[in-house]
Amino acid sequence: MLHIVDHPFVRAKLTVLRDCTTPSSRFRECVREITCFIAAEALRGVELESCRIKTPLAETTGYRIAERIVFVPILRAGLGMLEAAESLVPGSPAGFIGLERDPVTKLPREYYCKLPEATPRSFAVLLDPMLATGNSLAAAADLLKRAGFHRIAAVTIISAPEGKKVFEARHPEIEIFTGCLDERLDENKYIVPGLGDAGDRIFGTVHR
């Protein structure tokens, strides 16, 4: 199931991301800012445990995150989201999945996978700015499941209907949280209107 985080600040920052005149430095900032909003929604259902704490005035009941949150960016664009996601759960472990799109078949090829150990209380959150064809995100979810992760969510910034359909068919139980569902994919499998290649724009490797 796909959830759109329809927040005014997400809309405003998405506009900055879409603008082709936005420099890489500002693009990276907006990716981090939007990630905080969307990842917070993805973690809304996280389990808590109560604890006793002492304020300057009295004792009271507080709460701690009971699950082991593991953030897993899909390289390389997902790296631009990791710092923001980790700021929500400081000290959380991270895994890394490297996938690249075959220029001919358009299907993902794995070139790197390093994940923390899955525990019964692990909650893995996939990070990728764009859900385009859905194949990369679905392949990453396959890797998480094979590694023993059973509770998984995905955080994206923009998504395409085609990718939503593919991912939901392969992983119907995994919730996707995104900032916007765009119109379509073009003939080259890029999201329209989209924001271009997120990895190139985050890391300043756009060739003009």
- Give the residue numbers annotated as catalytic, written as ranges: 101, 105, 197, 200
Interval 151-207: pLDDT, tens? 999 999 999 999 999 999 999 999 999 999 999 999 888 999 999 999 889 988 865
- In the chain, which stretches have pLDDT less than 70? 106, 206-208
- What's the distance, CA 11 to chain centroid? 17
pLDDT of residue 123: 97
**C-beta of residue 35 within 8 angstroms of C-beta of residue 85:** yes
- Find the Cα–Cα–Cα–Cα dihedral 97, 66, 89, 94, rounded to 10°: -20
Q: Residue length, the chain?
A: 208
* Residues forming a β-bridge with 51: 62
pLDDT of residue 206: 67
pLDDT of residue 207: 53
* Residues forming a β-bridge with 64: 49
- Number of Cβ within a 10 Å radius of residue 55: 8
Instruction: Compute CA distances 199 → 24, 81, 86, 166, 195, whole Å.
Output: 10, 11, 19, 22, 11
**Token pair in block for residue 150:** 């059973």
Q: Which residue has 């879409």 as its token pair?
A: 18
Asked if omega into 76 is within 30° of 0 (cis), the reply is: yes
pLDDT of residue 208: 47
Instruction: Compute CA distances 13 → 44, 75, 166, 181, whole Å.
Output: 21, 22, 27, 15
- Domain borders along the chain are 2-203
CATH class, range 2-203: alpha beta
Q: Cα(59)–Cα(20) distance, rounded to whole angstroms?
A: 53
Is residue 57 classed as helix, strand or coil in its secondary structure? coil
pLDDT of residue 104: 76
pLDDT of residue 106: 66
pLDDT of residue 58: 96
